[in-house]
Amino acid sequence: MRLNRKAGQEAARDGKAWAPAALGGGNYSILRKCEERPDAEQVLKIPCDDAFSVIVQLRDFASHRLWRGGRLVYDGGHARQSMSIAYLGDEVRCQHRAAYDNLRFILPRAAMNELLYEEGVPRPVAFDRVTGQVDPVVYHLAQALLPALGMPGQASQLFVDQVMLALCTHLNARYGEAPAPRESARGLAGWQLRRAQELIANHLSDGLSVARLAQECALSRSHFTRAFKLSTGLSPHDWLLRMRVEKAKELMRDTSLCLSQIGLDCGFADQSHFSRVFLRLAGMSPANWRRFQRLER
């Protein structure tokens, strides 16, 4: 899956407070949206598309109406952590009658078909229509993406790809009509592991997608992600972060570059991001680590 980043911020106006950012691309889009005082009389017509909309509630939503094909199919509230699945080809309309805050995934059917075909599922994707279903897996995957939506410049393409793969696989297994792909219990072959690690090492500053790594290893995206973790004990994103920290240590030890420049050279969004990740993986801040190395010398 390819990720394009887009961030925008709209000031509160007319009693409305909108989410600050969205992530999206040719294969999916993710948007957080909230309103404190929506127009309770306005009926919103959702553009028809061959795509599924998955909406996760981040707070209690007291009153909502939903129409499919001109027929009212839901009139009620949604609890925090609940999720709904709608097919946008159903001529969907909705009415927000109370304050809400939710995360929305738009998943084109063609992209889902491509993903599952890679896993050996030849049948076209078809998800159940779901309203107000509490699904802890979907909720926690949505929660994992909130920092990326809040700071799109720091969003890791590998991380967002992994979350979206997990989401689509779970939706198919629980709500899909197509059979779930068979899990592989095997790690990467030696040449595949070497190639993946080499690619990650060569793209520390700019990052790369799960699709590129999987293609180089002649595997599907989700098969590659599972096999990589079986082989290394880490997800591709976590491996990338560890390699960035190791590169930063090398630069701190062997050069006089300032810490902010080292962080940028190693692919971190800024010094704060660099310090936070370095502290988590190395157990001390970059400044303390460099000071300790100089004392050891």
The domain defined by 4-175 folds into Jelly Rolls (2.60.120)
Please give the pLDDT value at position 152. 66
Please give the pLDDT value at position 185. 63
DSSP 14-48: TTB---SEEEE-SS-EEEEEEESS--TT--EEPPP
Please give the pLDDT value at position 116. 73
Please give the pLDDT value at position 122. 65
Please give the pLDDT value at position 258. 93
* Domain map (residue ranges) of the chain: 4-175, 190-233, 242-296
Two structure tokens written together for 67: 């129409």
Please give the pLDDT value at position 22. 63
Please count the CA atoms within 13 angstroms of the CA of 165 that sit on its side-chain side: 26
Give the distance from CA 165 to its chain's centroid.
Answer: 8
Q: What is the pTM of this model?
A: 0.71
Nearest 10 degrees: CA dihedral of 25, 30, 36, 42?
Answer: 70
Select the CATH number that applies to the domain covering 242-296 from these four: 1.10.10.60, 2.40.128.20, 3.10.20.90, 3.40.50.300. Answer: 1.10.10.60
Please give the pLDDT value at position 44. 93
What is the residue-level pLDDT of the chain in tens, covering all 297 positions?
A: 443 333 333 333 333 444 445 666 557 889 999 999 999 999 999 999 999 999 999 999 999 999 998 899 999 999 999 999 999 999 999 999 999 999 999 999 888 888 777 766 666 778 889 999 999 999 999 999 998 887 766 778 888 888 888 898 889 888 887 555 555 568 898 889 999 999 999 988 887 888 889 889 888 888 888 899 999 999 898 999 999 999 999 999 999 999 999 999 998 888 888 999 999 999 999 999 998 888 876
For tokens 């499919």, the residue is 68
Please give the pLDDT value at position 292. 86
